[in-house]
Amino acid sequence: MNAAASYPLRIPQNLIELANLRTKEEHVDKSTALRQLLYMGAQDYVIELYGSGRISLSKAAQLLDTSTLDVSRIASERNLLLGAAKTQQEKSRETANNLSI
C-alpha cells in the first residue's frame, strides 16, 4: 500500500455515527472505520470513472492500489459491463470471419 498522509478534516456527525456503527459491527477502531468508509466511497467513484471510460483499467488499479484483476472483479460484482458490448463482439467476429475467407 501507499504511504499514508495526515489531513485535517471536519467530518459530519452522521458520518461519525456511521463510523461508530461500523466499529461495533466490524470490531475495528473508529479511525479504521472512517478509513474503510472513505475507501469504499473512493472505490465507488473509481469504478464509476472506469465504467464511463474516463480512466483506464490500469489507472483504476493504480488509484485503488490493487490489481487490474481486482478492479475487473469489483466492476463485475457491481454488474458493470466491461469491454466490448455483445453487438461489438459479434461484429468483430463477423469481420474476422470475412478476413479469413
Query: What is the residue-wise DSSP string for 6-24?
Result: -------HHHHHHHHHHHH
Burial class (CB in 10 A: 0-12, 13-18, 19+), 33: buried
Q: Mean pLDDT over all residues of the chain?
A: 88
Q: Is the pTM of this model over 0.75?
A: no
pLDDT digits (tens, 9 = 90+) for 21-66: 999 999 999 999 999 999 999 999 999 999 989 999 999 999 999 9
CA–CA dist 52, 46 (Å, integer):
10
